Amino acid sequence: MDIELTDEQRQVRDLCREFAAKELRPNARRWDEHHEFPAEAVRQLGAMGLMGVAIPAEWGGAGMDAVSYALAMEEISRGCAGTGVIMSVSNSLYCDPVFKYGTDAQRERFLRPHASGAKLGAFALTEPASGSDAAEMRTVAVRRGDRYVLDGSKNYITNGPQAEHLLVFAMTDRSKGHRGISAFLVPTDAPGLTRGKPDDKVGIRASGSCSIFFEGCAVEESQRLGGEGDGFKIAMATLDGGRIGIAAQALGIARAALEEAVAYARDRKAFGQPIAQFQAIQFMLADMATELDAARLLVWRAATLKDRGVRHSAESAMAKLYASEMSERVTSRAIQIHGGLGYMRECDAERHWRDSRITQIYEGTSEIQRLVISSAVLKG
Ligand code: CAA
């Protein structure tokens, strides 16, 4: 499916496809097994401009559009879904908001080295007692002169174990509810900031996540991103872009599973012929391919709206909802086609299934996507 991609978009897709085939796919199972961060691959992604795809070249990025980003995310995740999310957090959840809301001084310190891939960023919103209900956060930032002092904790922070800088959301005025939340750029070596041990996850195990603790962690006023009280809207608008990246990650995982199921169905014989000759298998492959293309169209639509500067909250939510749930169905059918082998760790099908599962949870669960979509539908 190639609907009016530009030459530049095709080039980035092909470059990422080649990189994923050479550098990611051959290593993905080992990284998964050992929960190993793919440091060298991430360095190479940075050199290719893929850690700040949509950031202008003057700030160290590749200056490409959101459709190119979605194409790149699908290809990279097709090779290794864990590497895909490392890239998506750097792009959508860290570099994009620092570029959009940052001053030039903040961009110089907190964006340039990230867009070029020299440093890694993370997005610290979720807390032990506030996941879906993000506005209910407990972490506070108390103003003391020209500084804020952060206290509280964040958890499941993707890229947390490796990140040099975090975009942290904290309450500066609880009486104002979500309008009392502000955003801060915090180096992970700041006094008063500590990290928990890396989380032991079911899937996307090449990517690290951990808890972050703040105890009297002081930051300068100049490290606040946007105005005081702008934090919640910054987080929500940022997630509108992030959900496109996760939807594209779900596409890549599903495509890997489909391609491998097709190859296996052509090769594996039963009852005297390749199982691809049986309608039971053909119908499964037909549904997998149809759902994958339908999801991709939703992803490209959301990315196109983002490129046009149009609000795309509902379209991003639809893309993530459908692509993530499709990804679990497709990866599960891929296991079915592989039969007993599909359930074994030696077969990549089980990894794709495990990797797909988180796409229905992070950056807003499927239930939250349905809330965002139904709110747009009811507003008309
Ligand atoms: N863009 C800009 N502003 C937005 C917005 C958007 N997309 N969505 C909401 N807002 C604004 C609203 O206009 C409203 O503004 P006013 O104060 O001016 O009225 C304000 O934000 C509050 O909006 P709501 O009343 O809709 O907010 P809510 O408290 O009911 O919550 C929610 C809405 C959709 C449930 C939201 O809390 C949400 O998205 N929750 C899920 C959080 C999430 O996705 N977490 C993921 C963590 S990050 C992660 O997973 C990273 C990783 O590991 C990879």
Per-residue confidence (pLDDT) for residue 380, from 0 to 100:
80
**For ligand 1, is residue 361 a contact (CB within 6 Å)?**
no
**For ligand 1, is residue 233 a contact (CB within 6 Å)?**
yes
In the chain, helix, strand, coil percent, each to 5? 60, 15, 25
**For ligand 1, is residue 240 a contact (CB within 6 Å)?**
yes
**For ligand 1, is residue 140 a contact (CB within 6 Å)?**
no
Q: For residue 236, is pLDDT > 80?
A: yes
| Cα torsion 208, 210, 215, 220: sign | positive
Task: Please name which of 10, 7, 99 lies closest in space to residue 57, comparing C-alpha atoms.
Answer: 99
Q: For residue 203, is pLDDT > 70?
A: yes
**For ligand 1, is residue 199 a contact (CB within 6 Å)?**
no
Per-residue confidence (pLDDT) for residue 328, from 0 to 100:
98
Residue-wise pLDDT for 325-350, tens only, equals 999 999 999 999 999 999 999 999 99
| Cα torsion 167, 37, 205, 155: sign | negative
Domains, the chain: 7-120 (1.10.540.10), 122-229 (2.40.110.10), 232-379 (1.20.140.10)
In this prediction, residue 4 has a pLDDT band, given cuts at 50, 70 and 90, of: confident
Of all protein residues, the one whose alpha carbon is nearest to atom 1 of ligand 1 is: 237
The Cα–Cα gap between 247 and 317 comes to 9
Q: For residue 313, is pLDDT > 90?
A: yes
Q: What percent of the chain has pLDDT over 70?
A: 99
What are the phi and psi torsion angles at 118 (to 5°)? Answer: -70, -30
Q: For residue 131, is pLDDT > 80?
A: yes
Average pLDDT over residues 154-167: 98
The pTM of this model reads: 0.97
| Rg from Cα positions in the chain | 21
Bridge partners of 122, per DSSP, are 166
Q: What percent of the chain has pLDDT over 90?
A: 99
Give me the half-sphere count of Cα atoms (radius 13 Å) on the Cβ side of residue 283.
3
- Span from the CA of 10 to the centroid of ligand 1 (angstroms): 33
Per-residue confidence (pLDDT) for residue 2, from 0 to 100:
55
Atom of ligand 1 nearest to the CA of 240: 7
Indicate if 315 belongs to the active site. Answer: no
Per-residue confidence (pLDDT) for residue 67, from 0 to 100:
98
- Span from the CA of 213 to the centroid of ligand 1 (angstroms): 23
| Secondary structure in 3-state letters for 255-318 | HHHHHHHHHHHHHCEECCEEHHHCHHHHHHHHHHHHHHHHHHHHHHHHHHHHHCCCCCHHHHHH
The Cα–Cα gap between 289 and 219 comes to 50
Per-residue confidence (pLDDT) for residue 341, from 0 to 100:
98
Average pLDDT over residues 223-250: 98
What letter would DSSP give residue 178?
A: G
Q: For residue 87, is pLDDT > 90?
A: yes
**Among the options 221, 291, 363, 367, which is catalytic?**
363
Of all protein residues, the one whose alpha carbon is nearest to atom 22 of ligand 1 is: 178
- In degrees, rounded to 5, the angle at the alpha carbon of residue 107 between the alpha carbons of residues 54 and 167 is 85
In this prediction, residue 159 has a pLDDT band, given cuts at 50, 70 and 90, of: very high
Q: Could you tell me if 232 and 179 are in contact, meaning their C-beta atoms sit under 8 angstroms apart?
A: yes
Q: For residue 1, is pLDDT > 90?
A: no
